Amino acid sequence: MGIQELFSTYGENYLQALVQTWSMTAISFSCALVIALAITVFRVSPIKPLRILGDFYVQVFRNIPGVSLLVIIIYALPYLGLTLDYKIGAMVTVTMVVASFASENLMTGINTIGVGQIEAARSVGLSFGRILRHVVIPQAVRSAILPMTNLLIGTLLTTALASQVPLKPPELTGMVNYVNSRSVGGIGAFFISAIGYAGTSLVIGYVGNLIDKKVRILR
């Protein structure tokens, strides 16, 4: 099947698949940022058990393969009395994995600020909250733009995991399967999906670079 024929037959489906991938990416990434923020607060708090809990979360979820987590959430949790919708389950999987990497990015952002700055801020009498608000957070956020851009692209690619569950409508990777099970999609079916991903990554990367250039702190 040529690309043109594919478009006329499955154009609508591909569009839905693209929207599905985009929506999963956007929702998972936003939720992951919120969770990562909470975990990072845990990890820098003076409360020992919370620190350990935060570190533990990050080590578990940055090292677990996505599929391994997905099958637990989709197929094992129902046995434990928690059944999630396929799409929700896939998004929870992506969110939990991405949150661990996002927290690592935030920690790196915090670490780029020298200890001396904190000491200086304290010596001029800033309170803890003010040190965070005026010294730590602005710098950490700025230096985290580029890693977070990459992580957003990573999130986009991780949503391909959802092709392992029967999703309706399928997302971009599942589409290759969908087309090939109905007709001979051939290389075209693969390329349309690939361009959907690569094109989206390109745009995200471009915008991320622009923002980074605007806010980057030159050291």
Q: ∠62-63-69 over CA atoms, to 5°?
A: 90
Confirm or reject binding of residue 115 to another protein (CB under 8 A): yes
Give the list of residues 6+ apart from residue 55 with CB closer than 8 angstroms, or none.
43
Closest CB to another protein among residues 88, 198: 198
Q: How far is the CB of 8 from another protein (least distance, A)?
A: 20
Q: ∠206-207-208 over CA atoms, to 5°?
A: 90
As a whole number of angstroms, the distance between CA 172 and CA 160 comes to: 7
Residues 120-139 close enough to bind another protein by CB under 8 A: 122, 128, 131-132, 136
As a whole number of angstroms, the distance between CA 122 and CA 102 comes to: 28
Q: How far is the CB of 164 from another protein (least distance, A)?
A: 7
Q: How far is the CB of 175 from another protein (least distance, A)?
A: 10
CB 203 within 8 A of CB 210: no
Closest CB to another protein among residues 198, 217: 198
Q: How far is the CB of 70 from another protein (least distance, A)?
A: 10
Written as one letter, the residue type at 106 is L
Q: How far is the CB of 194 from another protein (least distance, A)?
A: 5
Residues 48-107 close enough to bind another protein by CB under 8 A: 48-51, 53, 55, 59-60, 62-69, 71-72, 75-76, 79-81, 101, 104-105, 107
Q: How far is the CB of 34 from another protein (least distance, A)?
A: 19
Candidates 2, 119, 168, 214; binder of another protein (CB under 8 A) is: 119
Residues 23-42 close enough to bind another protein by CB under 8 A: none
Candidates 47, 120, 141, 217; binder of another protein (CB under 8 A) is: 47
Closest CB to another protein among residues 4, 108: 108
Residues 147-206 close enough to bind another protein by CB under 8 A: 147, 149-151, 153-154, 157-161, 163-164, 172-173, 176-177, 180, 184-187, 189-190, 193-194, 197-198, 201-202, 204-205
